[in-house]
C-alpha cells in the first residue's frame, strides 16, 4: 500500500478531504460600546475593536457579504452596578445594537446571537449577584437566575435570534427557557455554553469587554480544566433543561472535550476559539514565527475535525475571505 498515491495532486487531495470548513460555519464576536463612529482597538487582540452600534452595522454588512454564519454580541455598558442592570434594561447597549441590526438587510443572512451574562455589566466583574461576609464572597446562584432570565428575554425581544448563556450558574437553561416561554418567545433557541472551563485564555477578552473580576476569580462557577467527565454531566444537564445547541469553550486546549461531546449527544455543537487562542497565534504571526493564513485555517480545521459544527472565532472575517 502506498498512502501517498492519494496525496499526489490537489484534485486528488480535495476528493478525499474528510473535513470541510466554510464561511457559514463561523460566528464572529462583536463588542458593542456606546457612542457614534467609534472603533477602539483592543491592544491584546490585533484587528478586534470596541464598536459603536453604527460601526457594528458596517461589520454586519461585511460579515453577511463574506457568507459568515452569524454574530455573537457582547456589550460594554455606559455604567456598571452591583446587579448588572445594563444587561437587561430596555435600552441596554446590546438591546440597542440588536434593534438597529435587525433593520439592516444584512441581518437576514446572519444569525444574531446575544451572549447572556452579567460580568460585563457588574461593578465587581463577576457573572452573577455577589454576597459578601467578611473576606469571603459568593456568587449567589439562585438569585442570579432571575437576572439572567430577564436578560435573555430583553435580548430576544430586542431581536436576538438565539440567546447564549455563558455564566455557568446551575439551572440557568431551564430558568431562561421558562422565562422565554412565559414572554411568548417560545421559538427563541438557547445556545448554552454547557462546557466552559475556568481558563487563562480568556485574558484578552477581559480587556475587550472590560469584565475582569475585581476580586477573586471564576473558579467557583467555571469548570476545572482537569475534568472531562464533569463536562459531560454539564452537557447532559443543559440538554435536559432545554438547550437547543451547546457551546464548548475554550476550543484548542479542549479538543478532546469537543470530540467526547460529539460522540455523546446529537444536538448541534459549537466551539469557541477564545480570545487568548487568537492572541497567541497573532503574537506568533507578528514575530514571523507562524504563517498567518495557514496556521489560522489549520487551527479552525482542527476544531471542526474534533466535531464542532460551528466555530465562534475572531478570525471569522479573515478566514471567510480566504475560504470564500
Count other C-beta atoms under 10 Å from residue 121's C-beta: 28
- Numbers of helices and strands, H then E, in the chain: 11, 12
Measured from the CB atom, is 21 or 48 closer to ligand PBG? Answer: 48
> Smallest distance from the beta carbon of 26 to ligand PBG, in angstroms?
14
Question: Cis ω on the peptide bond leading into residue 258 (within 30° of 0)?
Answer: no
317 is catalytic: no
> Would you call 14 helix, strand, or coil by DSSP?
helix
Round to whole Å and give the CA distance between 71 and 65: 13
152 lies in the binding site for ligand PBG (CB under 6 A): no
> Would you call 30 helix, strand, or coil by DSSP?
strand
Cβ atoms of residues 27 and 70 within 8 Å: yes
> Smallest distance from the beta carbon of 117 to ligand PBG, in angstroms?
4
| Residue of minimal Cβ distance to ligand PBG | 205
User: Interface residues for ligand PBG in 9-48 (CB under 6 A)?
Assistant: none
287 is catalytic: no
Measured from the CB atom, is 198 or 237 closer to ligand PBG? Answer: 198
> Smallest distance from the beta carbon of 241 to ligand PBG, in angstroms?
19
Catalytic residue among 80, 186, 196, 287: 196
User: Interface residues for ligand PBG in 184-203 (CB under 6 A)?
Assistant: 202
The footprint of ligand PBG on this chain (CB under 6 A) covers a number of residues equal to 12
Dump the DSSP string for 81-104: BTT-GGGT-TT-HHHHHHHHHHHS
Question: In this chain, which of 100, 144, 166, 188 binds ligand PBG, going by CB under 6 A?
Answer: 166
> Would you call 321 helix, strand, or coil by DSSP?
helix
Mask: binding to ligand PBG, 202-221, rule CB under 6 A, as x and -?
A: x--xx----x------x---
Cβ atoms of residues 272 and 27 within 8 Å: no
**CB-based burial label for 88 (10 Å; 0-12, 13-18, 19+):** buried
Question: In this chain, which of 42, 148, 258, 274 binds ligand PBG, going by CB under 6 A?
Answer: 274
Measured from the CB atom, is 174 or 275 closer to ligand PBG? Answer: 275
Round to whole Å and give the CA distance between 16 and 176: 43
129 lies in the binding site for ligand PBG (CB under 6 A): no
Cβ atoms of residues 223 and 250 within 8 Å: no
Residues 6+ apart with CB under 8 A from 152: 114, 116, 163, 165, 176, 179, 180, 188, 190
> Smallest distance from the beta carbon of 184 to ligand PBG, in angstroms?
27
Round to whole Å and give the CA distance between 77 and 301: 35
Question: In this chain, which of 117, 231, 248, 257 binds ligand PBG, going by CB under 6 A?
Answer: 117
Round to whole Å and give the CA distance between 165 and 152: 8
β-pairing, 269-273 with 245-249?
parallel
Catalytic residue among 249, 287, 317, 321: 249
Per the structure block, which three cell numbers stand in for 126?
Answer: 463577576
Measured from the CB atom, is 88 or 205 closer to ligand PBG? Answer: 205
> Smallest distance from the beta carbon of 75 to ligand PBG, in angstroms?
11
> Smallest distance from the beta carbon of 211 to ligand PBG, in angstroms?
6
Which of the residues are catalytic? 196, 249
Contact residues toward ligand PBG (CB under 6 A) are: 115, 117, 119, 127, 166, 202, 205-206, 211, 218, 274-275
Amino acid at each position: 500500500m502506498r498512502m501517498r498515491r492519494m496525496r499526489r495532486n490537489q484534485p486528488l487531495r480535495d476528493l478525499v478531504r474528510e473535513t470541510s470548513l466554510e464561511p457559514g460555519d463561523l460566528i464572529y464576536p462583536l463588542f458593542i460600546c456606546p457612542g457614534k463612529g467609534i472603533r477602539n482597538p483592543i491592544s491584546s487582540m490585533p484587528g478586534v475593536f470596541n464598536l459603536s452600534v453604527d460601526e457594528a452595522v458596517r461589520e454586519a454588512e461585511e460579515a453577511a457579504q463574506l457568507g459568515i454564519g452569524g454574530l455573537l454580541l457582547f456589550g460594554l455598558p455606559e455604567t456598571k452596578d452591583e446587579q448588572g442592570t445594563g444587561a437587561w434594561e430596555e435600552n441596554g447597549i446590546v438591546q440597542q445594537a440588536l434593534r438597529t441590526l435587525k433593520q439592516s438587510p444584512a441581518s437576514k443572512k446572519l444569525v444574531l446571537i446575544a451572549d447572556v451574562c452579567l460580568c460585563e455589566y457588574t461593578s465587581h466583574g463577576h457573572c452573577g449577584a455577589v454576597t459578601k461576609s467578611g473576606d469571603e464572597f459568593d456568587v449567589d446562584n439562585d438569585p442570579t437566575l432571575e437576572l439572567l432570565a430577564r436578560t435573555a428575554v430583553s435580548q430576544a425581544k430586542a431581536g436576538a435570534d438565539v440567546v447564549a448563556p455563558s455564566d455557568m450558574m446551575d439551572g440557568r437553561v431551564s430558568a431562561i427557557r421558562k422565562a422565554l416561554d412565559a414572554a411568548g418567545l417560545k421559538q427563541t433557541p438557547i445556545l448554552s455554553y454547557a462546557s466552559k472551563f475556568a481558563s487563562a485564555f480568556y485574558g484578552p477578552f477581559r480587556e475587550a469587554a472590560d469584565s475582569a473580576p475585581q476580586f477573586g476569580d471564576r473558579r467557583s462557577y467555571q469548570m476545572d480544566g482537569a475534568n472531562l467527565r464533569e463536562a459531560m454531566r454539564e452537557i447532559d444537564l443543559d440538554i435536559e433543561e432545554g438547550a437547543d445547541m451547546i457551546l464548548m469553550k475554550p476550543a484548542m486546549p479542549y479538543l478532546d472535550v469537543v470530540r467526547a461531546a460529539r460522540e455523546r449527544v446529537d444536538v448541534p455543537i459549537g466551539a469557541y476559539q477564545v480570545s487568548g487562542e487568537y492572541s497567541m497565534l497573532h503574537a506568533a504571526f507578528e514575530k514571523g514565527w507562524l504563517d498567518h493564513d495557514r496556521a489560522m485555517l489549520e487551527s479552525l480545521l482542527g476544531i471542526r475535525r474534533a466535531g464542532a459544527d460551528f466555530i465562534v472565532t475572531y478570525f471569522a472575517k479573515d478566514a471567510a475571505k480566504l475560504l470564500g
